[in-house]
């Protein structure tokens, strides 16, 4: 391509905005639609399960302006309980979805907790599991658009590890674009409006990993801030507000210049072109994962490795004398925090997860409430985390028994694109998460809500 041709190419935000606008009429493949339905249902389950966690309670106290949108799961049925302003509902529902660390991952990172609350805030009145009406063809394409844009922003920043290693939490910084894209599709914005929504959203891209030092609640609030700000950006664009078309270009104040830092050389550098490369033919949405465990996703490969050792060697927890985990320098502050002070912080701890497994727990949200029980503390004393001198991308797990030491390193954790959960497993997880909130008939209504969308 010549220099003249490059200068005449539309800005990246415009090209991405045109693609987002086209998603309103884009037919999904059967596989994409099924996966989108799975992620929708999975996020609904996480949202219902997390509604009474401390961060969600705090969010409800602050974001409570009256309006038409229900807070999912409050008082059991969707249409009962509080209804609030769409922006406030997006914030509160997003926080609830992320509170228990059981929501989906490997998108922006937690795309479902960001995108699904935006979709719910923009459903027409009556489009609820028990309202009779059913949303049409935009909801699943809007979900896919949000996941795709959020992931592309993260990849363009150099990928998850590079961006997060700089201290950014990509759920917040990249999620705001996911929310803006999803809202743009739901609102039927044209390409110019969608580009403006993305440009406006860039001014709200923020969120750091500072919470990892003390387990504070800001991690739970990040999806809420991204969902609300992205929805707000799309509504402003719909109302005629303009966003900077050059926001993804190398200009002063451009998104990549401020959030990505120096490009550097080699793999992991900032590559703005990845925002639009292969649009419509390369689907990064397909790499999104549904969690089988209520813990930080970066700990899942080590959890799988531990379980693989037990299964392969026919070991019982009582056979274990010690566990040694080799973790690289990037993951250590993320999944090996100081002694957790509460259940929320314990879900970020690989050591706590392994200790719970040694006690026969399944790593569901309620299991982490036992993080400081005498039995778990006793197990923790046998678990050692050491620096991985090889810097392996995934942790190496060693299980020490009287008969020998067994080691395993899992490169692709369960629930991801290589080892996805089946639709039946997703529905089983939903029932497990909502058992305390919804009866069997109500659960069936919610599942039907997600599955009926496949008919469009």
pLDDT at 210 over 70: yes
Residue range 409-413: mean pLDDT, rounded: 97
pLDDT confidence tier of residue 81, bands split at 50, 70 and 90: low
Residue 407 three-state SS: strand
Q: Which residue has the higher pLDDT, 319 or 215?
A: 319
Structure tokens at 275: 């925002």
Domains and CATH numbers, the chain: 10-292+419-455 (1.10.4100.10), 297-408 (3.30.1330.120)
CA distances from 99 to 20, 56, 57, 247 (A): 29, 7, 10, 32
Residue range 30-41: mean pLDDT, rounded: 97
Residue range 382-403: mean pLDDT, rounded: 94
Residue range 226-242: mean pLDDT, rounded: 98
What percentage of the chain has pLDDT greater than the value 90? 82
Please tell me the predicted confidence (pLDDT) of residue 268: 60
Asked if residues 230 and 118 have their Cβ atoms less than 8 Å apart, the reply is yes
Q: Which residue has the higher pLDDT, 236 or 128?
A: 236
pLDDT for 257-276, tens place per residue?
999 865 433 346 899 999 99
pLDDT at 125 over 50: no
Q: Which residues does residue 35 pair with via DSSP β-bridges, in sequence order?
A: none
CA distance 431 to 438: 8
pLDDT at 217 over 70: yes
Q: Which residue has the higher pLDDT, 382 or 4?
A: 382
Q: Which residue has the higher pLDDT, 271 or 7?
A: 271
Please tell me the predicted confidence (pLDDT) of residue 29: 95
Query: Which of 17-31, 32-46, 57-71, 428-442 shows the lowest mean pLDDT across its residues?
Result: 57-71
pLDDT for 89-119, tens place per residue?
999 999 999 999 999 999 999 999 999 999 9
**Angle, helix 86-98 to helix 218-238, in steps of 10 degrees:** 150
pLDDT for 57-74, tens place per residue?
999 999 988 888 777 643
pLDDT at 80 over 90: no
pLDDT for 361-377, tens place per residue?
999 999 999 999 999 99
pLDDT at 131 over 50: no
Please tell me the predicted confidence (pLDDT) of residue 262: 59
pLDDT at 163 over 90: yes
Please tell me the predicted confidence (pLDDT) of residue 77: 37
DSSP-derived secondary structure for 284-305? GGGG-B--SSSS-GGGHHHHHH
Q: What angle do CA 26, 419, 305 make, to 5 degrees?
A: 150
Residue range 154-181: mean pLDDT, rounded: 95
Residue range 237-251: mean pLDDT, rounded: 97
Please tell me the predicted confidence (pLDDT) of residue 431: 98
Please tell me the predicted confidence (pLDDT) of residue 186: 95
Q: Which residues does residue 105 pair with via DSSP β-bridges, in sequence order?
A: 289
CA distance 160 to 170: 7
CA distance 96 to 59: 9
Mean pLDDT of the chain: 91
Residue range 147-155: mean pLDDT, rounded: 98
pLDDT at 5 over 90: no
Please tell me the predicted confidence (pLDDT) of residue 135: 46
**Angle, helix 175-187 to helix 218-238, in steps of 10 degrees:** 40
Helices within 314-373 (DSSP H only) = 332-335, 343-346, 350-358
Please tell me the predicted confidence (pLDDT) of residue 214: 87
Asked if residues 201 and 225 have their Cβ atoms less than 8 Å apart, the reply is no
Query: Which of 39-43, 258-262, 316-320 shows the lowest mean pLDDT across its residues?
Result: 258-262
Give the length of the chain.
Answer: 456
What percentage of the chain has pLDDT greater than the value 70? 91
pLDDT confidence tier of residue 134, bands split at 50, 70 and 90: very low
């Amino acid at each position: 391509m010549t220099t003249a041709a490059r200068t005449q190419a539309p800005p990246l935000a415009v090209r991405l905005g045109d693609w987002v606008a086209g998603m309103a009429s884009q037919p999904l493949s059967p596989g994409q639609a099924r996966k989108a339905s799975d992620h929708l249902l999975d996020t609904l389950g996480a949202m219902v399960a997390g509604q009474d966690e401390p961060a969600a309670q705090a969010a409800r106290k602050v974001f409570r302006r009256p309006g038409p949108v229900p807070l999912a799961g409050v008082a059991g049925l969707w249409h009962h309980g509080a209804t609030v302003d769409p922006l406030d509902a997006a914030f509160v529902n997003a926080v609830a979805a992320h509170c228990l660390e059981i929501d989906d991952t490997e998108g922006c990172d937690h795309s479902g907790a960001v995108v699904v609350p935006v979709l719910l805030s923009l459903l027409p009145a009556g489009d609820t599991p028990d309202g009779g009406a059913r949303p049409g063809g935009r909801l699943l394409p809007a979900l896919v658009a949000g996941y795709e844009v959020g992931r592309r922003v993260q990849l363009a920043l150099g990928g998850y590890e590079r961006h997060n290693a700089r201290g950014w939490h990509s759920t917040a910084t990249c999620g705001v674009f996911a929310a803006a894209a999803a809202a743009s599709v739901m609102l039927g914005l044209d390409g110019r409006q969608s580009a403006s929504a993305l440009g406006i959203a860039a001014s709200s891209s923020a969120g750091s990993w500072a919470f990892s030092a003390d387990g504070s609640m800001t991690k739970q609030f990040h999806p809420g801030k991204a969902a609300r700000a992205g929805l707000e950006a799309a509504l402003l664009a719909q109302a005629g507000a303009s966003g900077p078309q050059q926001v993804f270009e190398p200009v002063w104040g451009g998104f990549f210049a401020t959030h990505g830092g120096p490009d550097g050389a080699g793999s992991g550098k900032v590559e703005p072109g990845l925002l639009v490369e292969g649009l419509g033919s390369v689907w990064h949405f397909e790499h999104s994962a549904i969690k089988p465990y209520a813990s930080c996703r970066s700990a899942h490969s080590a959890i799988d490795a531990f379980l693989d050792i037990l299964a392969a060697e026919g070991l019982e927890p009582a056979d274990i004398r010690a566990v040694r985990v080799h973790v690289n320098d990037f993951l250590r502050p993320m999944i090996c925090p100081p002694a957790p002070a509460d259940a929320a912080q314990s879900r970020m701890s690989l050591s706590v997860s392994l200790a719970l497994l040694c006690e026969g727990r399944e790593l569901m949200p309620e299991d982490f409430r036992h993080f400081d029980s005498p039995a778990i503390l006793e197990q923790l004393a046998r678990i050692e985390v050491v620096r991985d001198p090889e810097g392996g991308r995934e942790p190496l797990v060693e299980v020490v028994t009287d008969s020998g030491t067994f080691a395993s390193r899992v490169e692709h954790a369960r629930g991801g694109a290589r080892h996805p959960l089946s639709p039946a497993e997703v529905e089983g997880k939903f029932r497990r998460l909502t058992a305390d909130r919804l009866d069997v008939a109500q659960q069936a209504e919610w599942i039907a809500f997600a599955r009926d969308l496949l008919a469009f």
